[in-house]
Chain A
Amino acid sequence: MITSGKGGVGKSTTSVNIGTALSLSNKKVCLIDTDIGLRNLDVLLGLENRIIYDIIDVVEKKCRIRQALIKDKRCEELYLLPAAQIKDKTALNANQLRWLVAELKEEFDFVIIDCPAGIETGFQHAIAGADRAIIVTTPECTAVRDADRVIGLLEKESIAQPKLVVNRLRTQMVRDGGMMDIDEVVAMLAIDLLGVVPDDEQVIRGGNLGEPVAHSNSLAGKAYRNIAKRIQGEMVPLMILQKKSNMFFRMKKWLGFA
């Protein structure tokens, strides 16, 4: 499951991109959007117009799981189980989700649950289905504080060692001292770091076009692919984002955000 506590730190973006990156390395991946009422994953993947059935139809047995799964446009082995937009969080309960995930696990290598923001019902239900958790945070006090709270809740639910993704890091701001650096965040949360994603315009652009950045060659795309490799147990060094040489600035110029 992918969660954060705080909203707007990039859970859905991270879910989509990790899912995409995993399927790019030839894994069978299923994304589940549990943010019922605030459906997003389909938009980020550009699959909005293909939705026929949703997760609620599945748990209410109005259709088979297979029927509700939407195959991604680009990746062969990436499927999305969209959330329902016209219901609310109470429409799905923990047992239903547990059953659903168990069924999907049979068929897929990875089942990624995109959690709603907050620590209420939606989050509690998502926990029920998950056996691993990825916490997404940005290097901001509020986001880190909420991530800390969520880690505490996950520990109570005895979900094995959550992993951390730090999203939207601005190297320039860190250098100016205006933003927490990675070490600070990791020291505070005291969990393993899975990856760092730089703040990158491409992410937003890709999201709007329905093309996950993990396909592209941008820094963020690379970061997501590295995260996917680490999830599969590969040892990949962290990208050097804080290079002091001019090389980095030149690179930024090429990418058009310096």
Chain B
Amino acid sequence: MGKVLKPGVTIKGTKEGLLFFLDDSRPFTAIMNELKYKLEHNNAAHIWDGPEMKVQIKLGKRQITKQEELELRNLFAIRKNLQIQGFESEAGSYLLEPEHGIQMLVGTVRSGQVLQHVGDLLFAGDVNPGGIIQSTGSIFVLGALRGLAHAGVKGDHTAIIAASILRPTQLRIAEIISRPPDHWEEKEVEMQFAYVHGEQISVEKMHLLSQIRPEKEWKEPYHRGI
């Protein structure tokens, strides 16, 4: 007899919430299909539609890409009461390309120069016209961005481009390209950022970022009365 076939997705309930064990020996697409089936079909309806529940996803020895994480999050969005709390992998970081947090580089990107980076980048200095700054993650320029900036070069639509002085010749996020207006309003001295809004790139003042990326918003820890 062969081995008993384990299910691809095992769900366990704990005091804190639900644990999803995703079998690491099967292809990720198979797991996704099974998970989709389980979430879409109400064979355990009371969990799916009940009160808010925290979900921890255990990946076994598997590590996933940012894209796969996004797919998983989208899948769980079917059930509004399930809140993904985190991912865990026995291999350490759950992401294949671990994010080292944000990395800082300094200098000037001059005409004809290309600064390529993996992950989020904080660049302290100017990007001059004709210069290119690109990164797989978001780009933050502490200085004047007058050249071309390309964030999320590998297709991350959630990447943003922010600069103290945002005067780019062109902005690109993932595969979306935008050319800013030919004439900037000189008055705009506030720090701005660009993000993907629908099919195009929009530019907003910095303080609106918390509305556009609420999941990143910093909140003062909430204390109940003693």
Contact = CB atoms under 8 A, between A and B. Distances in A.
A252 B111 CA distance: 37
A45 interface: no
B129 A145 contact: yes
Chain B interface helix/strand/loop/mixed: loop
B112 A188 contact: no
Contacts, number: 32
Interface of B: 108, 110-113, 125-126, 128-131, 144, 146
Contacts of A152: 110-113, 131
Contacts of B108: 190
B205 to A, nearest CB: 23
B112 A190 contact: no
A188 B126 contact: yes
A104 to B, nearest CB: 30
Nearest to A153: B112
21 contacts: A145-B111, A145-B128, A145-B130, A146-B111, A148-B111, A148-B129, A148-B131, A149-B111, A149-B112, A149-B130, A151-B110, A152-B110, A152-B112, A152-B113, A152-B131, A153-B112, A155-B110, A188-B146, A189-B128, A190-B108, A190-B126
A152 B108 CA distance: 9
A187 B111 CA distance: 15
Contacts of A155: 110
Interface residues of A, number: 12
Contacts of B126: 188, 190
A139 B126 CA distance: 19
Interface in A186-242: 187-190
Interface of A: 145-146, 148-149, 151-153, 155, 187-190
Contacts of B111: 145-146, 148-149, 152
A149 to B, nearest CB: 4
Contacts of B128: 145, 148, 188-189
Contacts of A145: 111, 128-130
B114 to A, nearest CB: 10
A190 B126 CA distance: 9
